[in-house]
Amino acid sequence: MIALLAPGQGAQTPGFLTPWLDLPRVAARLRWLSALAGCDLIAQGTTGTAEEIRDTAVTQPLLVAAGLVAAEHLDIEDVTVVAGHSVGELTAAALAGVLTPEAAVTLAAARGREMAAACGQADTSMAAVLGGDPEEVLATIESYGLSPANRNGAGQVVAAGPTEGVRRLVAEPPAKARVIALQVAGAFHTKYMAAAEEALEALADGVTTDDPVRLLLSNADGTAVATGSQTIKRLVAQVTSTVRWDLCQATMRDLGVTAAIELPPAGTLTGLAKRELKGVEVVSLKTPEDLAAARDLIGRHGGPAGVEPSVSFRVVVSPAAGTFAPCDIAEGDSVPAGAAVGQVMTRQGPHEVAASYPAVLAEWLVTDGDPVAPGQPLARLHPLAGTR
């Protein structure tokens, strides 16, 4: 089984689009997508400086367009799983058949503009935390008034929030961790992007969608999205929510993905896959010279697309902020519809968390006594046959 991956902001490098212009119709496609994006994607992807292509309003449509024009030179009929990191979710949604390429690039441009504008409303920034004890890393991030914007797996968490908090994190990192300040405009995937989420929500009802024709994994919790309408809602909400790439990779592992191709500008996600998905064969599609290897990988690992095998992993989430106390249920146990899986203990009293459908507990995502936030995934459930 093969997965097609689309990178997010930060993967771009100056001139990365240049070799792709030698392929048939790429320049014409990019000119058309530039008209929709409101910026010259060819110029930005070939001669744009590092500073110019760091502009969120430019970067986001550039990445989505680059991934889509490269994918047009692959036969993805036998690709089963698609997933994108952050704005790469728009690329993945188009590859899954939920959005047209034109809609994906148009939404990426709007998303980029609105997120860039939101960055100007507060002095915020981001930093990558590499290594350290996962629980200690998250606790330290929170203690500095920051949020985990990306949980990427392989010992990598990106913290975001007020710039002063990021400076403290860099100066006083968690034990055995290294912290790198990122050159970004603001705190993406946090509450500081609320204005951008609101603006995108106003556009969402006007977007025409179809249901996925292949498995489309969501950054929210790593689960597959079942419908086009659900996809667009999640894409909007993800602007202020943590990117759970670690859970996307966990689902790929659960599904038995054996190979992955990362679309340009490639390297980031395949690097994570090499560390997190041991034994999975990967290809970084950086230039057209890598197309032959990517096609070979699809030929050896691909299977019929469609919606089977169905990813039926779903999650139960916390209804409030508090401390989680699980019921005596082990991974692999059946859970009847309406049965409690745990409680969130708050100052106002306990809040029961129940399964809304008969399922099997696939994986606990938190442990007894863990602090949880409203909407935080608590457990992954596998609905029993016939459950929608």
Residue 92 to residues 65, 84, 139, 167, 366, Cα–Cα distance (Å): 11, 5, 32, 34, 28
Query: Is 351 annotated as catalytic?
Result: no
| Catalytic option among 34, 85, 147, 189 | 189
d(CA 82, CA 84): 7
| Catalytic option among 34, 85, 86, 147 | 86
Quote the longest CA-to-CA distance of the chain.
64
d(CA 23, CA 11): 22
Query: Is 334 annotated as catalytic?
Result: no
- Residues near 387 by beta carbon (within 8 Å), at least 6 away in sequence: 312, 357, 358, 359
The two beta strands, 281-284 and 371-372, are unpaired
Does residue 179 contact residue 170 with C-beta atoms inside 8 Å? Answer: yes
Of 36, 27, 16, 1, which is closest to residue 284 (Cα–Cα)? 16
Number of residues in the chain: 388
Does residue 355 contact residue 290 with C-beta atoms inside 8 Å? Answer: no
With vertex at residue 375, the alpha carbon angle to CA 374 and CA 379, rounded to the nearest 5 degrees, is: 115
d(CA 31, CA 29): 5
**Catalytic residue IDs:** 86, 189
